Amino acid sequence: MSLLAALNPPQREAAKYLDGPLLVLAGAGSGKTRVITHKIAYLIGECGYKPGSIAAITFTNKAAREMRERVVRLLRNEDAQGLLVCTFHALGLKFLQIEHAHAGLRRGFSVLDADDAQGLIKELAPKGIKPDALFALQSLISRAKNEGLTPEQAQAQAASAREREAATLYAGYQRRLAAFNAVDFDDLIRLPLALLDGNEEIRAAWRERLRYLLVDEYQDTNAAQYRLIKMLAGERGAFTVVGDDDQSIYAWRGANPENLHELARDYPSLRVVKLEQNYRCARRILRAANALISHNAHLFDKRLWSEQGEGDPIRVLECRDDEHEAECVAAAITHLAQRHKQPWSQFAVLYRGNHQSRALEKALRLARVPYHVSGGTAFLDRAEVKDLIAYLRLIANPDDDAAFLRIVNLPRRDIGATTLERLGELAGARHSSLLDAAHSDAVLNQLGARAASSLHGFAKLITEFSARAERAAAADLVEALIARIGYAEHLGAQIKEPALRERRLENLRELVEWLRAMDSRGAGDLAAQLALLTHGDRDDPGNAVRLMTLHAAKGLEFDSVFLVGVDDATLPHEGSVEEGRLEEERRLLYVGITRAKQHLALSYAKRRKRFGEILANLPSRFLKELPADDLHWSGRDEEKDAAHKQEMAASHLARLAALLGD
């Protein structure tokens, strides 16, 4: 049986087409990942492509991991070794690991994450700079890199004092990165682009290496990512990009839906296949989504359809204020869970901004409904946890320069940025790691006496704990390390507010207990434990109602979805309306609506607290764009409301009885 037999006709057409560039216009819930995975399996299993000649690009590591697993299952026992399924940044990293010498990097270069990059920029910025000003400068540097500009070009194009300041900072920042043999995330796209653009031999080699490209969520690509696709694909255009202009909601982080127009202009022979059958939503929900998004301009028209049932009417809840709104949502969730015997994990409450979760959390706690808030700072991303993990990384791998840079001054050891830049230059000349250079008397003698003494002490500390790591569990190592370096005291000096300080200390205790639990499961040596720590899903929500922003809900689906704050100050957001970004706000609501499979409710509050004031609200203008016959407005249909209230009351009594019987 053909690998493509399970696909519907448009999906099969998309999977089989190999005669030129292809755009798969994939509506919400239309099986786009199914098309990509089957096409990869088809290329390998039936068309003779070697796995290593295919690159499939996604936007998250999780999506890449799941996609690869699905391809392996489709190929069964056939070899998928060498298949590259990764994010744009991971592809850039692989490129630089191969071409490091051409990029002016030494083997084993470090990649700084956003926090480490910001710390480096802060070291170079004027003393006492405010966080918002620092963020603005970092954003300008990032924008220059994404536009492929060198520091000199950025300086030449600067049109304001702030842009000139950012360009100057950019130059110093790049010198510091070069000294540290390091790159940041923007460099993972910028440097491969520069090499592909400027070196015909490298360009030809990579086009020969990667014979076919597949790109998921194409509407979320930025200008630099699209240029990378073009550079790798060349004129032959051996690629399939899959996207949906109706789900482009990341303009704030650089996504450019205009890339769909660019694709059509750059590749006149572009084939377009539309996936319009939705396998997720009830027909009533889909009608609402189609009606809403029809008010946006489209380069390619499409209309989703479904063979699912009609589904329940879409409820519109008119509430007094945000607390009443939260209470209504909590009551409706408990009612539906009992009525349909649904697990809590099949419910989601979606909102425009994280601040909207507070009232909802309170109402769900009172109703004794388990919930999980997505989108907050993940445990592994908390600064104090990252600091201690960086210590463990350097203890396990003395060549980890990124870890060295993060912790060499945590707690403060009076090792300045200029000293670190000089250390980096000396390490580069020796072709050694920063830690190895800090062990060398020949290097230390070329630095100031005070800085050299501090670096020597730090290097001795890491060596001591590296020896301990051979016989001690990671949990014990972290406990000893916290005491030895005075990390708790460091936090105390940095954080004056007692409650916040205690939460940060509790995070350290939780890290120790987590490492201890992993050790009890036989995780092995320190490096193995760190791998588990890095790749484990620490924030698995389990069987709980999901609370998250509309942006965070992209790609997910639930039986029942509640969209809260659907009023004209929140959705559409008043700032977006003022800036002329109404179409993106409409796409955001469209994404929210199409997360729901069976039950959908939209709510708004007639009064809402904003900026410390209680302000009157109007229902969102988007509600008028939904089909009236598919909506049931609470308070406007007395007969339906009476029946619903009676059903809710019975459900509430049953819930109380169950709770009392616990």
Residues serving a catalytic function are 32-33, 216-217, 247, 595
Distance CA 144, CA 170 (A): 9
Which residues pair with residue 596 across a beta bridge? 558
Q: Which 3 state secondary structure label does DSSP give 522? A: coil
Distance CA 515, CA 262 (A): 49
Task: Please state the φ and ψ torsions of residue 304, each to the nearest 5 degrees.
Answer: -75, 145
In this structure, are residues 18 and 44 in contact, taking their beta carbons and an 8 Å threshold?
Answer: no
CA 517, distance to chain mean position in Å, is 28
Q: Name the token pair of 2.
A: 């053909």
Sequence-ordered list of residues with C-beta below 8 angstroms from that of 540, at least 6 positions apart, any chain: none
* Among 251, 244, 254, 252, CA closest to 278: 244
In this structure, are residues 430 and 399 in contact, taking their beta carbons and an 8 Å threshold?
Answer: no
Distance CA 662, CA 35 (A): 48
CA 492, distance to chain mean position in Å, is 31
* Among 112, 104, 66, CA closest to 85: 66
- Alpha carbon of 476 to those of 381, 401, 483, 508: distances in Å? 22, 24, 11, 12
Q: Name the token pair of 478.
A: 């972290």
- Alpha carbon of 552 to those of 58, 588, 590: distances in Å? 16, 11, 14
- Alpha carbon of 267 to those of 21, 214, 233, 464, 505: distances in Å? 7, 16, 11, 59, 56
Sheet holding 84-87, edge to edge: 84-87, 54-58, 212-215, 239-243, 22-26, 271-275
Q: Which residue type occupies 249?
A: I
Q: Which residue type occupies 510?
A: E
Q: For 138-188, give the secondary structure using H, E and C.
A: HHHHHHHHHCCCCHHHHHHHCCCHHHHHHHHHHHHHHHHHHHCCEEECCHH
- Strands 54-58 and 84-87 come out as parallel
Sequence-ordered list of residues with C-beta below 8 angstroms from that of 490, at least 6 positions apart, any chain: 410, 411, 412
If one counts every other C-beta atom within 10 angstroms of the C-beta of residue 332, the result is 21
CA 223, distance to chain mean position in Å, is 18
Q: Which 3 state secondary structure label does DSSP give 306? A: strand
Q: Name the token pair of 353.
A: 């901004």
Cis peptide, bond prior to residue 411, ω within 30 of zero: yes
Task: Please state the φ and ψ torsions of residue 253, each to the nearest 5 degrees.
Answer: -115, 25
First to last CA, the chain: 53
Sequence-ordered list of residues with C-beta below 8 angstroms from that of 383, at least 6 positions apart, any chain: 115
Distance CA 328, CA 334 (A): 10
**Helix/strand/coil percentages in the chain, nearest 5:** 55, 15, 30
